[in-house]
Structure 1
Amino acid sequence: MAAAVMVTTACAGAGGGGGGGDSDAQSINVLMVNNPQMQDIQKLTADSFTKDTGIKVNYTILPENELRDKVTQDIATQAGQYDVATIGMYEVPIWAKNSWLHEVGSYAQADSKFDYNDLIKPIVTGLSGEDGKLYALPFYGESSFLMYRKDIFKKEGLTMPDNPTWDQVASLAAKLDGAQPGMKGICLRGLPGWGEMGAPLTTVVNTFGGTWFTKDWQAQVNSQPFVDATNFYVNLVRKHGEPGAAQAGFTECLNAMSQSKVAMWYDATSAAGSLEDPSASKVSGKVGYALAPVKETKSSGWLWAWAWAMPKTTKKADAASKFMLWASSKDYENLVGSKLGWSRVPAGKRESTYSNPDYTKVASAFGPLTLQSIEGTDPANPGVQPRPTTGVQFVAIPEFQDLGTTVTQDLSAALTGKKSVKEALDAGQAAAEKVAAKYK
């Protein structure tokens, strides 16, 4: 895994230093994932937020797996190095229950300009604790859908259904291999990690009729539906997926799709904005979008938000809350649109985004489908059977982070032929049974 890289904004001082240890009270430390939307806010902070408030922002940007490790270590151990961090719907309710996070809904509700009621309801629900309070402000929200090259489909005489099945997708992938020199049929994440390979894989498991655990905590990792879904996923990637799939996560698949190296990609709806940015993508205007593929369920998209959370350890809650409110505001969306292009707006969190004429003009191909996918998810019932916790692409228990990562490490090895799917899932079943024993 690549070494962690610290990146600071032009307005930042030296990186590092704890959230409470910086002698400059008008400086905060922010830890975030290295997705395109976060790279954009890094570019815009100095000349907007810092200029207006005098608050400097020291950014640390890490790849997703490293970010998850770093933020968990910092917040769980109360290290206090960061004042704000990007986390998601998996972490929020668990960490709120542990009293590791500041409640932030009161800040948002007290700021009339923020327009709290404009936030999309499933996103708010997913970022709330068991007490119903909001513990993170969404930066952008997402579900998942299928992205495909309209021009390549037309050239090959193929049609993408509006609501495709996974069997149809596999058939299309086989026909699309080599449609252009070196082009592969589909990109699917193979990089280990519960939030990397584990996210799309679990949605496939759900729609194939599988689950990690039954409602009464019976482990199901080597049950037939889970096995069938995993074999399907692994075989599809082996036959028609991207080269080096075991090292391909969200970022690598985004690059493959935007550089015209794959014909289809199943992943986060938030990727569409980057694909439609002509300054960064060779396929802008050439991509079509369809609902997440299904098998036994009516829908199968995931639900996620990268959100700003404030650890209880910060001594700069006032400055941190000002940053979070700005970063999740309508004003910030307008800033991105005017400075970087409307396709790059961190969308999926506000109803008003989808009625903004500037945004809808550039997002007509993917915006309505994104909103439909987000609002159409049911985290309490994402499969064919009752679940012990909420969550579409994760199980909302602390142990799932290790369990999901361990299983996907073995399945990533299966992509390269170093292990069989059966070996990986049998080992996963044994680990899942140990987890389940704690909850029975």
Structure 2
Amino acid sequence: MSAVGPASAQRAGLSFIRDAEVEHTIRQIATPLFKAADLDASSIDIHLIRDNAINAFVGGGMHLFIFTGLLMASDNPNQLAGVIAHETGHIAGGHLSRIGGAVEMATAQAIASALLGLAIGVAGGSADAGMAIAMGGQQMAQRGMLSFSRAQENSADQAGIRFLHRAGESAQGMLEFFQKLDNQSLLIGSRQSPYLSTHPMAADRVRVVENVVAQESGVRATATPEEQMAYDRMIAKLKGFLDPPGRTLATYKADDLSVPARYARAIAYYRQADLDNALPLIRGLIAEQPDDPYFHELEGQILFENGRVSDAIAPYRLAVETSNHAPLISVGLAQALIETGQDAAYTEAQSLLEAATAADRDNATAWRLLGIAYGRAGRMPQASLALAEYNAQVNRWEEAVVQATRARDNLPVGSPGQLRADDLVDYAKRQREEARAQR
């Protein structure tokens, strides 16, 4: 097992975000395309990079990276599907494995290693905890990252079109996005989208897709109202959390009573600590859609981060139940339960966190909280193992060795936990020595 954390991410210039709703929305768009490519959708990890650049790429094997700037520059889920279809073409074609040159391969390896420990969780205690941002540098956005040849780009286009058609989708969204990039190519280099440096755009590629779209039949070119609403909510949420609150409130004006607009304003007001405006907005949305997990999650987050821990439990619990125990949301509830300081709450938090870490082993915050919950319940060997997992994910190798050794020496001989602790001791020692050698 590999477990590398945010330190590697910073060296690679990565800046990730985690959010259950955003990830779910993108996964809903991507899964039919992965299946159309005969890929196991569950084996492809989708990572969101916080950066305003319009970019996306594949790296480290079955990993798809999407920049928030690309999401917010697109107009509808069809355009995003076009991008994902193209990137799926690179994955299905094995293009990354064919990249030559030490620089490109070193970058790919850095990306692959940085991935594993970046799931900081849904409630990290900061004002933007609902978006769970693991901050790194911005250099990677300005560098080219991974570049593909023109032949590989054409191959990915053709494969992406096939995958769209197999999924019953038009290539219209791909065409629209390519047209955006074609317009970008007229800008001076410093203002161009980094997507153009990693995915060379040519007018003939646009014409090819235009010809395909002109001859299409039996495929749909527009999203359903439900798909567009999910997409619009995702964009509103991203803008609410990532843009300055004043900009969000200017974009989603008070007389706009649509669901995405009220959602964005609720987040903006919450970030301004204006609960008098934030809570009525989110509670109004809950009244209209009582089974929506993400509205409940936001109410819980607002209350929790403003010191109303006990009040946050009920909305968080509803969010967990209505999301079918989404791991990121479960971590939020678990953190609130731990903060109550009640013995019964620790037991519930343990159960939630055990399930969350089983489903999402790369969530460092979940491991840290699980260690706390075990410790407060007096389960010290289990606490040591959870904290070893956490420290390994954040590259604290010395502490990982200490905690894993403590767990190994105190868990039942031959138990799964002891075997895992033994593996972690060996792994953390190797990583510690490698880190020392690089200094």
Higher share in helix: 2
Query: 1 or 2 for the larger relative contact order (CA 8 Å, sep ≥6)?
Result: 1
Considering only CA atoms, is the larger Rg found in Structure 1 or Structure 2? 2
Whether TM exceeds 0.5 here: the answer is: no
Q: Structure 1 length normalisation: TM-score?
A: 0.23
Q: Structure 2 length normalisation: TM-score?
A: 0.23
